[in-house]
Amino acid sequence: MENTSRIVDRIIAEKGKEKKALISILQAIQKELNYLPKEALRHVGEHTGITPAEIISVATFYSQFRLRPAGEHMIKICVGTACHVKGSGQVYDAFARKFGLGEGETTDRKGQYTLEKVSCLGCCTLAPVVQIDQVTYGHVTTSQVDEILADFESRAGKKEEKKFRLADGTEIQGEIRIGLGSCCVASGSDEIRKAVETTVNSYGLKVKLKHVGCVGMCHQVPLVEIVPTEGEPTLYSRVKPEDVKDIVGKHFKPPGLFSRLKGKLLDSVEYIQTDAKWEGIERYALDVRDKPVSSFLGNQIPIATEYRGIINPLDIEEYKSRGGFRAIRRALLEMTPTEVVHEVKESQIRGRGGAGFPSGIKWELVARHGDPQKYVVCNGDEGDPGAFMDRMLLESYPYRVIEGLIIGAYATGATKGFFYIRAEYPLAVRRIREALATCYRENLLGENILGSGFSFDAEIYEGAGAFVCGEETALLQSLMGNRGYPRIRPPFPAEKGYMGHPTLVNNVETLAQISFILREGAGLFNSIGTIHSKGTKVFALAGKVVRGGLIEVPMGTTIRQVIFEIGGGIANGRTFKAVQIGGPSGGCIPASLADTPIDFESLTEMGAMMGSGGLVVLDDSDCMVDIARFFLSFTQHESCGKCTFCRLGTRRMLDILEKVTQGKARREDLDELEKVALWTKKGSLCGLGKTAPNPVLSTLKYFREEYEAHLEGRCPTGKCTHLIKYQVNEKCIGCTLCAQVCPVNAIPFTPHEKHVIDTGVCIRCDACRPACPENAIDVF
Amino acid sequence: MIKLKIDNKSVEVPEGTSVMEAAKAAGIHIPAMCMDEELDHFTSCMLCLVKDATGRMFPSCSVAASGGMRITTDDEEIREGRRIALELLLSEHVGDCEAPCQLGCPAHMNIPLMNRLIAGGKWEESLRVVKRDIALPAVLGRICPAPCEGACHRKTVDEAVSICLLKRFVGDENDLHPWPVPALNGKRAAIVGAGPAGLAAAYYLRLKGVDAHLFDRAGKPGGQLRTAISHDILPEEVLDKEINTILETGVVFHGGVTVNDTFFDELKNSYDALVLATGNIDDLTKSFQLKGTPKGIEVNRETYETSEKGVFAIGNVIRSSRLAVRSVAQGKEAAFSVIQYLNDETIRGEPRMFNSRFGKLHDLEFAEYLKEANPARRHFPSADFSGFTPGEAIEEARRCMHCDCRAAGNCKLRIYSDNCQADQKRFQTTPRRAITKQIQTSGVVYEKEKCIKCGICVRLTKKYREKFGLTFIGRGFDVIIGIPFDESLDAALVQTAQMVARHCPTGALEIREMN
């Protein structure tokens, strides 16, 4: 076995001895050794120019790093917004109970599993989500812990099944498209892929199997689309592996004799399917012309997500055939950098990362700077617990984002670029890495790009888990191997950025819209949207909406259109109460303001913010105090701790909110809460602190009566566990199911009798309520 | 050069000057804690928030002045922001500025300092400390019920430090007034009643240059000290000796004088100020026509002003009490009010600084506090009324755990909290952190629970290239300043120990040797 110092030596040799390599060195050490042992860190200090103080400050800043060994398997419990509103906190508690974890413990006694809360796994539509190593479980309930662990353990040691070989291209009967975005993968699209491969192989079908990126219809995953060479395409949603054979057989006839026999069988299957008594796979079929689907897609304008569900993320030829890299050609070969900047300014595009700073002006600032050394950075450190559009764009349209970055570099005169991507997005990292390699091969990167005389290099830099690094000055610190401490602006990165040189930092979504602007012209782009907010915006629509997913709509679309036309309204027949826009920096907008057109200004005016573009729909069963507390616990955890107002203000707000949700607060506490919130907004150093109070201030503004109910010891929606009771009502048939799932034996096992919940023992984990077949458990 | 206006003052500064520096050039001080003259700005404490003409707030330490700026550095909104910033910092600041014994002492005597001086064998210096607040230490050292010992943190470990006997020791060891008496300044004050309150008031007024005249019915000064206490407990020679040190400063005693209402009016006319310290209220004092309460003469509790201008009242005449130390304390405090009155200043009484307090010591903290104390148990003198020998006094004084903060005199957090009248409890929403004390053999103490995370020490150890130095550990609310790889404080601060202690804005990092 290689000893620690040898491993570290090898890693240092590979990553370099400079401070900017520190985060990747630590990532590599942890990857090999499971955690960051002290002796490994000391070794780094002794064999590089990086000081012990720097190593420790970085190793303890980013949440990815562990200074203690973790269990063999990581159980990641998503506590993002969508998961939170669907009960992920209780799921976490259920796992903690299962492993008998005490306060502050995260690893079970056998060292087998380590429990970890993660802010978003990007599968909001499957909420609540739990990921064990690489396996993702969706729609988890508290009583499923044993089931999930058993399933996970049963997978151990299984080998990958035979890989599908592509049918030879001459005789393609059609195309089978399988969604491979994170949602799709999480919902089991990989199983589907295997089933399709097996079916296609065993029937000897001549079809092309194609992996497509995110279609955006995350509420329907996994998605399979059958596109016959002739005839209309059919989209199947919520496909199960066992349905695959039927779906494939319905559209494609196997060629050989033996297969033809099977074909007959399939025909009969088809016959049965159409029988009125049997719903079968038809249940899953979606016709794109069907109303729900067309309204989901119909109101959208895809720019960043152009050709979604159609193009293979990594197929550069396909990207080219759909207009890809035309913008680069136009910019690099036909335009001067100044003209490019002018075009971007003309488009009036504003940064999609949150604050909405005009991108053209940013570009101009960098372009005008005299420093010969300039950089461009793609900010892909999306950390909002309820948003995943950057991940989806990077995963599904890597070339489009790269194209935007290259154009930005050309326009500003930068020679080097970075993709700063959250470490929690491995698929995005992999796709961008592969796409970058392809671009180098195609001379879209490197020396003298496309013969234009312009040279540019780009590489990936993986973040290590710190929401604050989405703030550009913090991001640049991180890029240089430091703690992600923001600093005051000015000087702006455009004047003094990476290594002190002018640096253009643009968000993924902004860059994904650049190629459209350069290809179609600024005029087309700025014809979309409102007076001050042009173009489209991608939102992650999740929460209590019928059809969640990623959507791209013109600026100025109203909240109502998004929720009711695109999202299909509120799920489960409940009432629309509010929408949380912009994640931890955003705010809660009440249903009464649903007709407001969404743009940068209107959101700020309402006390929310474009922020990351998370759009979580809340219904009448959601407690607004709990929502505020949820976001505060996130920002409090993510505060870097540099400035007083954010470090302590977010904490004290959270403390007060906890007091409120426990029914222990008094009226004065609400005044103090508001005071701290206002001052944290006014006095914090960076955007994180300045916007962290928004969820509190907006809920205080629009839902003050709910806060007041808590002062009286009431949670009107029955969400705050300290203020609620579980009770069995008259509908109980004595089936004992609730008693069986209760983790703390608060329900005595009394078959055929009405059950009783011992409120003193009950931990309000909500396991019994969904287990009851008769709706006999009340919460009040 | 750049021209701008700060608080309506025009100032011209070179380009690149921060707003804070520009304000300094205009003679305006902006509070700040994370700024250090040796280092670049860091923008952490946010105390230096100022406002521009649009009302936008920003930290003045790190924003460059630009031409035409119109900056406001102090208004109600800015003060509120500073106060909240301080209250947020105080909400997690675990430390006592002054020791609980000092706060428990009605005379507010600096007990830990006295103990340190006794432990160092410095009798005269210790007397100076005692006499700053207590005019009659040898007397009180025999009769005081010692509320200070009730507050002593050492009590939670084993037994309180024998503070009262130590004070007696200091009083007994010295028989002279310990510092020069200033010349008379032309103002005269009459003090009616020569009990402990009157004696103290006269003493401190004389020490402030006032011609102080004591009037008493009895022929000898001392009041109830002479009449109500057994001589076994308080021998006459002790009382006489200590009163003598007071009279030696030039206090004039007029014995055998009964002050009735006419004489009272006479005194009022012939003296610049009058202090009433006549003991329990009686018909005679009632005849002075001062506003009263059921318990005595009504006074302002902070300043001891009565309903009549220039007349102050202290001791049992305002409320009967068996605590001589309280009377002695009031004598001292009233002297401040009288001086303020004589100087035509706003009468505020004795100035009191802001005090950070954390309450009771927890079990786990005993060991931390004992790091600086003699672990031996309390020493009791063998005989009932005997005091300590010098050796015993030193041993006992060494039991003191020095709960006062080393930075009590120059801590920026304390000074600004005092200026802004911050309320430490306002945002104390979670249980406090446990106190730790890391002590470096070469002379620095680190109490991280007092740290405000300004990073000055981190930046200094980096600047001076310490091998380990200090660093930020963790993130957000849980961030602490620590030493990489759990090295010792000695290893962390090889060359910079004294420097970081000097630059720390609070008492988190301090030079161990105490004054």
pLDDT at residue A261, rounded to an integer = 39
Pairing of strands B211-215, B252-254: parallel
Evaluate whether B206 touches B251 at the Cβ level (below 8 Å): yes
DSSP state of B280: S
Contact A537, A553 (CB under 8 A): yes
For chain A, the average pLDDT equals 86
**Phi then psi for A75, rounded to 5 degrees?**
-105, 110
Q: How many CB atoms lie within 10 A of CB B79?
A: 13
Which residues does chain A have within 8 Å of residue B46's beta carbon, measured at their own beta carbons?
A: 643-645, 683-685
Nearest to A645 among B46, B62, B426 (CB): B46
Tokens 């491993």 locate to A7
CB B215 within 8 A of CB B224: no
Cβ contact, residue pair B484, A55, below 8 Å:
yes
Chain B nearest CA to A670, separation (Å): 13
Per-residue pLDDT of A576-629, as tens digits, reads 999 999 888 899 999 999 999 999 999 999 999 888 788 989 999 999 999 999
Q: Which residue on chain A is closest to B470 by alpha carbon?
A: A53
User: Are the beta carbons of B123 and B173 closer than 8 angstroms?
Assistant: yes
Q: Which residue has the tokens 């508290």?
A: A142
> Which of residues B125 and A244 earns the better pLDDT score?
B125
Number of C-beta neighbours around residue B147 at 10 A: 17
Strand partners, B18: B64
Q: Closest partner residue to B473 among A57, A636, A679, by Cβ? A: A57
Residue recorded with tokens 């159609």 = A310
Q: Which of A58-62, A128-132, B428-432 has the lowest mean pLDDT?
A: A128-132
- Reported as a pLDDT band with limits 50, 70 and 90, residue B306 is very high
B457-467 pLDDT tens trace = 999 999 999 99
Give the CATH fold of the B100-176+361-397 domain. Answer: Fumarate Reductase Iron-sulfur Protein; Chain B, domain 2 (1.10.1060)
Which amino acid is residue B222, in one-letter code? G
ipTM value, please give it: 0.92
Mutation choice for B interface testing from A67, A119, A495, A644 by most B CBs within 10 A: A644
Q: Which residues contact A350 (CB under 8 A, 6 or more apart)?
A: A356, A357, A358, A359, A533, A534, A600
Cβ–Cβ of A676/B472 closer than 8 Å?
no
Range(s) of chain B covered by CATH 3.10.20.740? 2-74
DSSP secondary structure code for residue A447 in this structure: S
DSSP B481: E
Q: Which of A326-335, A765-774, B256-265 has the lowest mean pLDDT?
A: A765-774
CA pair distance A519, A329, nearest whole angstrom: 9
B45 and A644 within 8 Å at the Cβ level: the answer is yes
A643/B91 touch (CB, cutoff 8 Å), yes or no:
no
State mean pLDDT over A430-438.
96
| Contact flag A642-B43 (C-beta cutoff 8 Å) | yes
- Where do the H-state alpha helices sit in A79-144? 81-85, 88-98
Question: Which residue of chain B has the CA closest to A685?
Answer: B43
Q: What would the 3-class secondary structure string for B127-191 be?
A: HHHHHCCCCCHHHHHHHCCCHHHHHCCHHHHCCCCCHHHHHHHHHHHCCCCCCCCCCCCCCEEEE
User: B334 pLDDT band (50/70/90 cuts)?
Assistant: very high
For B58-72, what is each residue's pLDDT tens digit?
999 999 999 999 999
Per-residue pLDDT, A259? 41
Residue B29 is predicted with a pLDDT of 96
**Percent of chain B residues topping a pLDDT of 70:** 100
Sequence-distant (6+) residues with CB within 8 A of A486 are A468, A471, A473, A474, A477, A640, A642, A685, A686, A687, A688
- E strands in A133-233: 135-137, 174-179, 207-212, 224-228
The amino acid occupying position B48 is: C
Average confidence (pLDDT) over B468-475? 97
Residues A111-115 have a mean pLDDT of 92
Q: Would you call the peptide bond into A502 cis, given omega within 30 degrees of 0 as the criterion?
A: no
Q: Which fold has domain B2-74?
A: Ubiquitin-like (UB roll) (3.10.20)
* A146-163 residue pLDDT tens: 888 888 888 766 543 322
Whether the Cβ atoms of residue A51 and residue A514 lie closer than 8 Å to each other: no
Q: Which residue has the tokens 């006794």?
A: B118
Instruction: Give start-end residues of each CATH 3.50.50.60 domain in chain B.
Output: 188-217+239-318+327-338
Q: Rounded CA gap, A182 and A188, in Å?
A: 10
Kindly give the residue spans of alpha helices, DSSP state H, lying in A488-599: 508-520, 522-526, 559-560
- Shortest alpha-carbon distance between residue B31 and chain A (Å): 14
CA angle (A579 as vertex; A575, A585 as ends), nearest 5: 160
Task: State pLDDT tens for residues A188-221.
Answer: 777 788 888 887 777 777 777 777 766 666 677 7
Most distant CA pair in chain A: distance in Å?
84
Map residue A729 onto helix, strand or coil.
coil
- How far off is chain B from A687, nearest CA to CA, in Å? 13
Q: Do A61 and B474 touch (CB under 8 A)?
A: yes
What is the set of domains in chain A, with CATH numbers? 4-59 (no CATH), 73-155 (3.40.30.10), 169-289 (3.40.30.10), 316-423+431-478+506-526 (3.40.50.11540), 623-719 (1.20.1440.230), 725-780 (3.30.70.20)
How many residue contacts between A and B have a Cβ separation below 8 Å? 140
The domain defined by B431-511 folds into: Alpha-Beta Plaits (3.30.70)
- CATH 3.30.70 domain extents, chain B: 431-511
Distance from CA of B477 to the nearest CA of A (A): 5
Q: How far apart are CA A353 and CA A688, in angstroms?
A: 12
Comma-separated ranges of CATH 1.10.1060.10 domains in chain B: 100-176+361-397
Amino acid at position B56, single letter: R
Query: Which chain B positions have a beta carbon within 8 Å of A57's beta carbon?
Result: 471-473
Report the pLDDT averaged over residues B320-348.
Answer: 95
Partner-chain contact A56 B430, CB within 8 Å: no
CB of A522 closer than 8 Å to CB of A343: yes
pLDDT of residue A566: 87
Tell me the two tokens of residue B177: 């007034």
CA distance B161 to B116: 12
Residue pair A156/A134 in contact by the 8 Å Cβ criterion = no
Q: Return the amino acid letter for A616.
A: V
Helix (H, G, I), strand (E, B) or coil at A262: helix
How near does any CA of chain A get to the CA of B77, in Å?
10
pLDDT averaged over chain B? 94
> Which of B477, B489, B496, B500 to probe the A interface (max A CBs under 10 A)?
B477
Contact assignment for A57 to B43 by CB distance below 8 Å:
no
CA distance to A311, A316, A453, B273, per residue, from A320 (Å):
10, 6, 21, 97
DSSP B484: G
Taking CA atoms, what residue in A is nearest to B48?
A683
Report the greatest alpha carbon distance in chain B: 79
CB contact under 8 A, A60 and B46: no
Question: CA B250, CA B206: separation in Å to the nearest integer?
Answer: 7
Burial of residue A281, with CB atoms counted within 10 A of its CB: 0-12 exposed, 13-18 middle, 19 or more buried: buried
CB B469 to CB A638 under 8 A?
no
β-partners of residue A590 are: A578
Nearest CA in chain B to A39: B485
Of the CA atoms within 13 Å of residue A412, those in its CB half-sphere come to 37
CB atoms within 10 A of CB A110: 9
Average pLDDT over residues B349-377: 93
Q: What is the pLDDT of residues A702-714, one digit of tens each?
A: 999 999 999 999 9
Alpha carbons B234 and B316: distance in angstroms, whole number: 20
Reduced to 3 states (helix: H, G, I; strand: E, B; else coil), residue A394 is helix
Q: What is the mean pLDDT of residues A766-776?
A: 88
Comparing A230-234, A673-677, A741-745, B32-36, which segment has the lowest mean pLDDT?
A230-234
In angstroms, the CA B158 to CA A245 distance is 81
B209 three-class SS: coil
For residue A288, name the pLDDT band (cuts at 50, 70, 90). very low
Beta-ladder partners of A618: A578
Question: Which pLDDT score is estimated for B235?
Answer: 95
- Sign of the torsion formed by the C-alpha atoms of B203, B204, B206 and B212: negative
Q: What is the pLDDT of residue B59?
A: 97
**B470/chain A closest Cα distance in angstroms:** 6
Strands B311-313 and A113-118: unpaired
Q: Express each pLDDT in A19-56 by its tens digit.
A: 999 999 999 999 999 999 999 999 999 999 999 999 99
Label residue A174 by pLDDT band (50, 70, 90): low
The whole-number pLDDT of residue A433 equals 96
pLDDT at A561 over 70: yes
Domain boundaries B188-217+239-318+327-338, corresponding CATH code: 3.50.50.60
What value does the CA radius of gyration of chain A take, rounded to a whole number of Å?
Answer: 27
Top residue of B19, B83, B84 to mutate, by most chain A CBs within 10 Å, is: B84
CA-based nearest distance B405→chain A, Å = 22
A659: closest chain B residue by CA: B429
Helix (H) or strand (E) holding B444: strand B444-446
